[in-house]
Structures are given as structure tokens and as C-alpha cells.
Chain A
Amino acid sequence: MSVQTPNGFQLDTSGRRIVVDPVTRIEGHMRCEVNLDENNVIRNAVSTGTMWRGLEVILRGRDPRDAWAFTERICGVCTGTHALTSVRAVEDALGIAIPENANSIRNIMQLTLYAHDHLVHFYHLHALDWVDVVSALKADPKATSALAQSISDWPLSSPGYFRDVQNRIKRFVESGQLGPFMNGYWGNPAYRLPPEANLMAVTHYLEALDFQKEIVKIHTIYGGKNPHPNWLVGGVPCAINVHDTGAVGAVNMERLNQVSSIIDRTIEFIDKVYLPDLMAIASFYKDWTHGGGLSSQAVLSYGDIPDRANDDSAANQMLPRGAIINGNLNEVHDVDLRDPDEIQEFVAHSWFQYKDESRGLHPWDGVTEPNFVLGPNAKGTRTRIEEIDEGAKYSWIKAPRWRGHAMEVGPLARYIIGYAKGIPEFKEPVEKVLTDLGLPLPALFSTLGRTAARGLEGSWAAHRMRYFQDKLMASLKAGDSHTANIEKWDPKTWPKEARGVGTTEAPRGALGHWIVIKNGKIDNYQAVVPTTWNGSPRDPAGNIGAFEAALMNTPVAVADQPLEILRTLHSFDPCLACSTHVMSPDGEELTRVKVR
């Protein structure tokens, strides 16, 4: 039995059903089920968010100035981006303008997150989908050195260096305690790298693990710690004092130098290790063109990294804003987060309930009332699910839609929009990658394209950190050291009622927070996050979401080993703690059970 979805995918559930639960190397908890046809090609895909925490109901009645700390804890991987979105929502509601220096520091922090998150995603969450650790043991260290030196002038590249790492891995494997590499899919025919490329990548897995902790020290300097640095409504909490007495109590010359030094090292690591590795790995997989999903037809970005403070126009955002639908790259639509007809969330297939589930709700009117029920065709029991029934409710994730369209968000979406808008800093790197690999434009719309866009963006972000650090220094030289606007810090200065929206582009994609403030307290708070977009279940019209679409029609080499499924899901960098939320609109007490 085969069904055509409105967004153009042919779903066939007749073949063998494969379940992957838990999906690992992601943030949070997720399940995936697919049907394979007789040739082991995916003909139906079902993605289920398997957790929710209810942060939005927890926010009701609280001080809006505290909301950043709560929402920051939505996610510890994209740490800070929810906090930034939250302070922007509150500032939008209350009409607070922030100092230029605060804008620069916030951008540096957001870009720090990009550089760190993309790097860690590539090596520690995604690489093992492409890199066979066990095969690295067969590599010739000399040939590995030659390979590394042919693609980069990164100094750690001698034969002896690769031999030492190889020996370390060998002895680790021989110890019989394989730790995180236990039961991996080593030797699966879907792995295509020669042993030398595998050894180079495994070596850089370890190097990146050591280096990533350096990048986040920028958060520690401006925000006091990482993960979960501190933010402030009205600016940033770190005062700057470069001239006077007591300078050791604030951001001073030594601190600024440390940030500057980390930026330089981050640029170097990404450009000399991450990007060359990405290109080398891609060159062995360039005919693996699967996983495009929605990217060739519907992508969305809110834009981010405002060049000047307090200017929300699309032109002021260094990451492009817009929506592309129906695969028409010649038209990039404007996006208005306040328009009730643009962004709406549906729950027909989510474990929530609306009065009328055929309709979607704009986040300012958002309702999130849990309703955990399994469909009639589910196998197993309520607390021991063997197979999901996707014809009914099947996920803790809602289904957001932009003007009714399921959209893909994230680095690839941003690069496609930047490409379509003809912005050189996005278009040129994309063209260069395609030319270097000898691939046509459609190759961009793929799992590999998503992974490549993330790498390009990591480099873009590192270089933009330099831009904003220089901008901050120029401002200090010009005599401006302000970092916070306290005019409306006191709740007595606020209107009785206000509503605001804050956005960022999180590393994983478009992120929006909608807040309603009444009498100085939060009255309603809704977050629509990247993985809600990408990981959404079907909507009432039957459109499938980005994860599901990307898995469609992918061949699986070994049916019992979900390597290709992981590869495509990981290319989105799923963040499940972000994507699931709950709101009981009337604040009712939810069912309770006794603690044993």
C-alpha cells in the first residue's frame, strides 16, 4: 500500500519494519522506524521524539529577567543560544535597546557556540557514520602522513605522530574494553574510506576533543562559565574596564587578549583540520547522494548575527533571513514571526491535544496539553512500544509549518538561502566545494551537503568572531565601554502588558521564543526550536517532516545495522531536549503518580 504525501513523497509501509531506539550520538532521546523494500531501500520513515520536560509551563508566573536561565537549560549542547533568544524576546516586549558593545559580545558568544558546536558535531557525533575506527589499525602511518600533508599544512602530521596514535588505538582495542566503540558497525560495506583516511580522521577525533575545550573559554571570559554562561536583559553582565583602577575585576586587556588568541587558534584549527578532513572524507562519498529530503524544496531561516545593535531588519543580519518553497531558488520569501498566518504548530500526530486538531496555532496563542496515546495499529503496550502507529499520534514533537509547508532549517538551509540571495560569502564557498569535488548544484541537496554546509559555516563563524572582536576593540578605542542598558531594569518601568518575540539562528537552525508579559510576570512563553521543525511528525494534511523526508529512498547496506539511517539523521545534528515542550494553558495540575 502506497500513499503520496502532499509534499511529494511516496510512502509504502508494506516492507520489513526496522526500529532504531535509542538513536545515539544526538542530544536527547529519539526513536526512528523505517520500512525497507525487498532491495533494502527505505520506503517509509517515522521519527519520534521520545522526551518532553515542560519548561514553558514552568516559566509561567516568573520574572521575565530570569527566563534566559530557564530556557538556556532547554539545551546544554547549543548552550547560550536559547538564553540569547530569550533576552531578545524580553527586550522586544519591553522596548529595551542594548549597547553596541553588548551586541558585539553577544555575537562573539553566539559565533563561539557555532564554531564549537559544529566542530564537536562533525568529529564526535557524526564522524563515526563515515569513519571506520577499526580500519584505521590497518593504515600505513607514512601514507597517512603523506595524505595529511597533501591536504593541509597543519603541523601535527608526521609519520611518527600517526604511528603513535595508531598504537594507542591498537592497544585500546586489544585491551578488550572498547568503551564507546563497542558494538559499532565496523567493517560495514557502507564505510568507504581507505585505512589511511580513517587513521587521519580518528587522530583528529582525539585532537578535536582536546581542542574544543579551548574554544568555549570565550564564553567563560564573557559569561563566567561554559556550558551555560550568564546573560543579561539589557546587555551583557561583564563590565569592561581597560584603563582604570580595579581593572582586574572586569574585562580588561588581558581578558581581551585571551579572547583574541582563542579566536586565532579556532580559525586555524577549523581551516587546517576540520575543513580539509571534511573535503577529504566527502571525496570518497561523493556518489552517495542520498538524504536531501526537503532541502531541495522548502527551507527556512530567521537570520541572525546583527551587524549593528537594535536593528532587526533582514539587511542587518549577517546570516540570511528568508523562506524558499516549492524548490524555487529564484524567490526568497520574507518571514514575519508576528504574522499569525505564517508560523503555526499542529498536533494531529503529536502527543498533545487541541480543541480542533485540523488547525494550527501561532506560538503567541500556543497551547501544549499532553495526551500520550498510541494508535490502534501500534504493536506492544503503552509502556513497552514495539512498533509505532504513525497513522495516529506518535511523537512528543509538534509539527510547525510555515504557511502550511514543512520546512528544513539549519546550516544547509542558511547556505541555500544565502546562495539563492546571491550573497558572496555563502555562494562562493558553496561553488568552490562543488567545483573541487566535481559535483553539480543538486548534489548540495543531500546528507553530505548538510554536513558540508555545517563545516563551511564553522569556518565562517570563526572568521566572523574576529570581525566582532575587532569591532569591540574599535569601540573601546573610540571611548565607548558600555555593556548594559539599565533604564528598564526595574519592573516598575514596564507596561502592564507586553508581548515580544526573540529569534536566533541556533547552530541547528531557526529558533524563536514568543513571550507574553502581564503585570511584570511571564503570562505565556512558547519556544519553536530547530529540531521541532526538522524532527516534526506528519501534519493533518499528511506532509512529512525533514528527518522523515531525508531518510526516504535511501538504500541500507546491512538491514540490521542502521548506519545509513544514523548518517542522515546525524547530518541534522538533532537536539531532542530542545524540540519537545509542554504548556497547560489553564495551569491545571497534571496527573500524578506515587513515588515508589
Chain B
Amino acid sequence: MATTETFYEVMRRQGISRRSFLKYCSLTATALGLAPSFAGTIAQAMETKPRTPVIWLHGLECTCCSESFIRSAHPLVSDVVLSMISLDYDDVLMASAGHQAEAILDEIRLKYKGQYILAVEGNPPLNQDGMSCIIGGRPFVEQLKEVAADCKAVISWGSCASWGCVQAAHPNPTQAVPVHKVITDKPIIKVPGCPPIAEVMTGVITYMLTFDRLPELDRQGRPKMFYGQRIHDKCYRRPHFDAGQFVEDWDDEGARKGYCLYKMGCKGPTTYNACSTTRWNNGVSFPIQSGHGCIGCSEDGFWDKGSFYDHVTNTNVFGIEANADKVGIAAAGTVGAAIAAHAAASAIQRIKQRAGEHHEENDQT
């Protein structure tokens, strides 16, 4: 078998010039919010590394994470798969099936022991002896544990792997559990969302390849770079919230003017995700921009927090800083995050005073 190429060699051989390569590194640095000087670090990393093997397993899920992943615009998913990683097992895309597919898992585990990334979409159910998700005649949870044993790190794609998501909603008939409940001895990066944003998914992967380390995580295990702020913090309709201009009914005057969807049940004030900044499908829009409130799909247990159209009065609005600290998001306390939290609290307090509404305390930890 030919020797494994570095990331840079592969790019060069695919006709990408040195100049374009460096430009790519610089853009990656910018996209990740890093200083321009980091471009050199990225270039150096890519010139010396082989493509990292990735095993992508599927448990109970709906495949929306894979569908999102293939929509990535920067980088293009064809470049990710052909030039950046080696996607050696993914039963949605792989050519082989049955025994030939299963054999790949053994080969990668042996050949790249401790070096491959395990990406998990969906989650293992534990009821029925685990047999409500069967792979190769065995419970998925067994396959998951075996492949995890020799991996370098786990990426929990989406809300299923991160939190449990829809099949784990009350009463969770299959007892589906998130990955971290059964894999406890490996670093796990949670990339929640139903699904996560495509460019966030590829952004997490390229970050790991580039810097050869895991992204910095918050206390819930999410990359801070993408999940450090609420949708509400950066929402383009925020000025209408601050001004007390709300949509009161679907398709009303306020809806047509793009007013704030808070009263229509928008969960933006309590949802940590990059939707209002990165937006969806190469930045075309995001739920609020297209007229529907955020349903909070990247938050733990979002299915069981009442109707998506309930006004968010049961979330902790007034004491938002204390709450954010408790759940660990702003706990690391970068100045920026603290200021954002403070600004949010002040604005919400203004609204609260104006509207005279009662907000219940609700500890979400």
C-alpha cells in the first residue's frame, strides 16, 4: 500500500496552488476567529499531516446530521472527504455493505489504533437488550463501545448523540441515551443541533485537523467557538426586541415587518448556537429570518420544555447572568461573554419592566 500523504500534499496534487493553499489557511484562521498570525500555524500543520481516518457510526437517528454535513459550502464536503479526512466507514455513503463493511472497522481499529476519530450520529437504545437498533445482528451499543475503545476522540454529532433528542423525549420508549452515557473514558465533543449547521460540523473537523487538538469546550462539552452565545445575543431582529416591537400573530403586520418572534414562542433567548451568526446553508437564512421562532433544537431536552409556541416565560430571563454561569456557558468568563450576558440581561430587564410580565425562576442545570 502506498505511503500515506499529508493533507498539503493531497491538496497540491489536486491542483491547488501554494498561493491558494495559504489563502485557504488564512481564511480558515479568520473563520475560526483567530488572529492572522495563526495562518502560518495552520499551513504548517496541514503540510505535515496524513489524512485522519474517521469512522462515522449511526445509531437511532434520522440521518439529518449526514444530510447537513454534505451541504457544507466551505469547505465543500467533496474536499473534506477527498482531501481532508479519510472517511473510512459511514454506512450512508460507503460503497461496501455487510461483511465487507464490517471488515473495515476491524482494519481501521488495528491499523490506526488511538489515531482515528469516531463520529457518532444518533444514539444507542438500551431497552430490548439494545436490540431496537441492530447492526450486523448485534446491538448498536456493542459496536459503539468496541469502536470507541481504540479511538482518539469522539464527536457526538447532533442532538441525538449529544443529548438524546426526539427518541429520548418523554417517555423515551427505547431508553435511547446520549453517547457520553455509555462512553466514559474518551474525550467527547458535542456538536448539538437537529441537525447542526453544516459549516459548524466541518468547522469543528477542520479545527481539529489544523491545530491537532480538541476545540475548547464549555462545561456541557460543546465547542465554545460555535456554542458560546445565544441565538438572541446576535439576532438581527434584536433591535425590535429592545424596542418592544413583536409579532403578535402569524402573518400580521409585525411578521411582515420582521419584528421580534419572542411572543410567538421563540427560544432564541435560551438557545446556544451559531444560527444567527453563521446562519444556514451557506448563510442564506436561519429560522427567525424566515419567520418562525427558534425551537431550541441544540439544547438538552428541548422536546420536553413545553410547546414550541409557548411564550418563554418559564425560562430564567431576569437573572440571566447567574443562570448562564450555572449552566457553565459563560463560566470560563471571557470578558466578551460577560459583557454580552450583561447586555442581554439589561435589555431583557428593560422589556420586563415595560411589559410588567412575570417570569418564573427556572434552573436549567
On whether A249 and B237 interact (CB within 8 A), knowing A185-B95, A240-B256, A484-B251, the answer reads yes
A66 within 8 A of B: yes
Q: Are B137 and A386 in contact (CB under 8 A)?
A: yes
Q: Which of A209, A212, A385 has the most B CB atoms < 10 Å from its CB? A: A209
- Inter-subunit contact A182/B96 (CB<8 Å): yes
Chain B CB within 8 A of A585 CB: no
In contact, A216 and B81 (Cβ under 8 angstroms): no
Pick the contact of A228 from B95, B98, B195 — CB < 8 Å?
B195
**A55-B175 contact in complex given A21-B98, A245-B257, A562-B97, C-beta closer than 8 Å:** no
Q: Which residue of A is nearest B15, CB measured? A: A164
Contact check, A241 vs B290: say whether CB atoms are below 8 A apart. no
Instruction: Contact check, A58 vs B167: say whether CB atoms are below 8 A apart.
Output: yes
A23 and B309 contact, CB distance less than 8 A: no
Instruction: List B contacts of A229 (CB < 8 A).
Output: 290
Known contacts A210-B78, A486-B250; A384 and B92 CB within 8 A of each other: no
User: Which A residues are in CB contact (< 8 Å) with B258?
Assistant: 241, 246, 248-250
Q: List, in ascending order, chain B residues with CB within 8 A of A250's CB.
A: 255-258, 291
Within A60-106, the residues touching B (CB, 8 Å) are 62-63, 65-66, 69-70, 73-77, 79
- How far is the CB of B313 from the nearest CB of chain A, in Å? 16
Chain B nearest Cβ from A569, distance in angstroms? 9
Q: Kindly state the separation between the CA atoms of A513 and B100 in the bound complex, as whole angstroms.
A: 38
Interface assignment of A372: CB less than 8 Å from any CB of chain B? yes
Question: Which one of B2, B88, B96, B177 lies within 8 Å of A184 (CB-CB)?
Answer: B96
The yes or no answer to A244 lying at the interface (CB within 8 A) is: yes
Interface assignment of A27: CB less than 8 Å from any CB of chain B: yes
Report chain B residues within 8 Å CB of A54: 167, 172-174
Find residues 276-300 in chain B having any chain A CB closer than 8 Å to their own CB: 280-282, 284-292, 295, 297
Q: Is the CB of A246 within 8 A of B257?
A: yes
The CA-CA distance from A168 to B344 in the complex, in Å, is 50
A313 within 8 A of B: no
Using known A-B contacts A76-B64, A489-B249, determine if residue A69 contacts B295 with beta carbons closer than 8 Å. yes
Q: Are A27 and B126 in contact (CB under 8 A)?
A: no
B285 contacts A221, C-beta separation under 8 Å = yes
Contact present for B256 and A382 (CB under 8 Å): no
User: Assuming the A-B contacts A386-B137, A590-B173, are A222 and B2 also in contact, with contact meaning beta carbons closer than 8 angstroms in the complex?
Assistant: no
Contact A220 B290, CB 8 Å, known A590-B173, A595-B182, A596-B182: yes
Cα distance, A171 to B4, chains bound together (Å): 11
Q: Which chain A positions have C-beta within 8 A of B3?
A: 176
Contact B132–A51 (Cβ < 8 Å): yes
Q: Is the CB of A383 within 8 A of B138?
A: yes
Are A577's CB and B63's CB within 8 A?
yes
Whether the Cβ atoms of B63 and A220 lie closer than 8 Å is: no
Q: Among B101, B171, B290, B295, which residue has its beta carbon within 8 angstroms of that of A57?
A: B171
Say whether B82 faces chain A, with CB atoms less than 8 Å apart. yes
Provide the bound-state CA to CA distance between A171 and B140, in Å.
35
Give A22 to B104 CA distance when docked, in angstroms: 13
Task: Flag whether B307 is at the interface (Cβ < 8 A).
Answer: yes
Q: How far is the CA of A19 from the CA of B73 in the complex (A)?
A: 38
Look across to chain B and name the residue whose beta carbon is closest to the beta carbon of A587: B171
B257 touches A249 (CB 8 A): yes
**Contact present for B138 and A213 (CB under 8 Å):** no
Q: How far is the CA of A249 from the CA of B53 in the complex (A)?
A: 43
* In contact, B288 and A175 (Cβ under 8 angstroms): no
Option from B93, B171, B256 in Cβ contact (under 8 Å) with A239: B256
Shortest Cβ gap from A514 to chain B (Å): 19
Stretch at the interface among A144-152, A230-238, A266-274, A547-555: A230-238
Interface pair A213/B72, CB less than 8 Å apart? yes
Asked if B64 and A168 sit within 8 Å, CB to CB, the answer is: no
A217 at the B interface (CB under 8 A): yes
| B128 contacts A by Cβ under 8 Å | yes
| A75-B104 contact, Cβ under 8 Å, with A220-B290, A230-B292 | no
A124 adjacent to chain B (CB < 8 Å) = yes
- Is the C-beta of A15 less than 8 angstroms from some C-beta in chain B? no
Instruction: Say yes or no for A364: interface residue by CB 8 A criterion.
Output: no
Counting CB contacts under 8 A, is B29 at the interface? no
Produce 1/0 per residue, A1-37, CB < 8 A to B.
Answer: 0000000000000000001111111111101000000
- B-facing mask of A165-196, CB < 8 A → 1, else 0? 00110011011111111111100000000000
One of B34-42, B54-62, B319-327 at the interface: B54-62
Find chain B residues with CB under 8 A from A175 CB: 2, 4-5, 10, 51
Considering only residues 371-419 of chain A, those with a C-beta below 8 Å from chain B are: 372, 380, 382-386, 396
Beta-carbon contact of A124 and B93 below 8 Å: yes
| Residues of B close to A185: CB separation below 8 A | 95-96, 100
> How many angstroms between the C-alpha atoms of A582 and B295 in the bound complex?
25
Given that A76-B67, A383-B139 are known contacts, is A23 also in contact with B104, CB under 8 Å in the complex? no
A63 contacts B309, CB within 8 Å? yes
Contact partners of B53 in chain A: CB under 8 A: 177
A133 vs B237: C-alpha distance when bound (angstroms):
49
Residues of B in contact, count (CB < 8 Å): 112
Contact A75 B290 (CB under 8 A): no
A-B contact count (CB 8 A): 361
From B176, which residue of chain A is reached at the shortest CB distance? A53
Known pairs A50-B135, A584-B173; A239 contacts B70 (CB<8 A):
no
Q: Whole-angstrom distance between the alpha carbons of A20 and B172 in the complex? A: 30
| Residues on B with beta carbons closer than 8 Å to the beta carbon of A178 | 86, 88
Chain A residues contacting B134 (CB-CB under 8 Å) are 21, 29, 31, 50-51, 385
A238 touches B86 (CB 8 A): no
Write the nearest CB–CB distance from B53 to chain A, whole angstroms.
7
**List of B residues within 8 angstroms of A31 by Cβ:** 134, 137
Q: How far is it, in angstroms, between the C-alpha of A23 and the C-alpha of B259 when the chains are bound?
A: 48
B209 at interface, CB cutoff 8 A: no
Q: Across the interface, which residues of B come within 8 angstroms of A179, CB to CB?
A: 81-82, 85-88
Min Cβ gap A447→B in Å is: 16
Interchain CA distance A239-B132 in the complex, whole Å: 42
Query: B65, A76: Cβ atoms under 8 Å?
Result: yes
Residues in A neighbouring B139, C-beta threshold 8 A: 383
Q: Mark B1-40, 1 if CB is under 8 A from A, else 0.
A: 1111100001001110000000000000000000000000
Contact A226 B71 (CB under 8 A): yes
A223 adjacent to chain B (CB < 8 Å): yes
- Which chain B residues in 322-355 approach chain A with CB under 8 Å? none
Contact of B249 with A486 in the complex, beta carbons under 8 Å: yes
B289/A224 in contact, CB under 8 A? yes
Asked whether A482 is an interface residue with its Cβ less than 8 Å from the other chain, the reply is yes
| A566–B86 CA distance with the chains assembled, in angstroms | 24
**Closest Cβ neighbor of A131 among chain B residues:** B95
Q: Is A294 located at the chain interface by the 8 A CB criterion?
A: no
Contacts of A489 in B (CB 8 A): 249-250
Closest-by-CB residue of B relative to A73 is B166
- Chain A residue, CB-CB nearest to B308: A66
Contact B292 A183 (CB under 8 A): no
The residues in A between 440 and 496 inclusive whose CB is less than 8 angstroms from any CB of B are 481-484, 486, 489
CB distance from B350 to the nearest CB of A (A): 21
- Whether a CB of chain A sits under 8 angstroms from the CB of B68 is yes
CB distance from B103 to the nearest CB of A (A): 6
- 6 additional contacts (CB under 8 A) given A22-B136, A180-B88, A217-B281: A22-B91, A55-B166, A70-B166, A73-B194, A183-B103, A590-B171
| 9 closest Cβ pairs, A-B complex | A249-B258, A76-B64, A246-B257, A184-B95, A54-B173, A224-B287, A224-B290, A237-B292, A230-B292
* B→A interface (CB under 8 Å): 1-5, 10, 13-15, 50-51, 53, 58, 60-68, 70-73, 76-78, 81-82, 85-88, 90-104, 125-140, 142, 165-167, 169-177, 181-182, 194-195, 198, 237, 249-251, 255-259, 275, 280-282, 284-292, 295, 297, 303, 307-309
- Residue ranges of A at the interface with B (Cβ–Cβ < 8 Å): 19-29, 31, 50-55, 57-58, 62-63, 65-66, 69-70, 73-77, 79, 120, 124-125, 128, 133, 164, 167-168, 171-172, 174-185, 206, 209-210, 212-213, 216-217, 219-230, 232, 234-241, 244-246, 248-251, 258, 370, 372, 380, 382-386, 396, 481-484, 486, 489, 560-562, 566, 577, 582, 584, 587, 589-593, 595-596
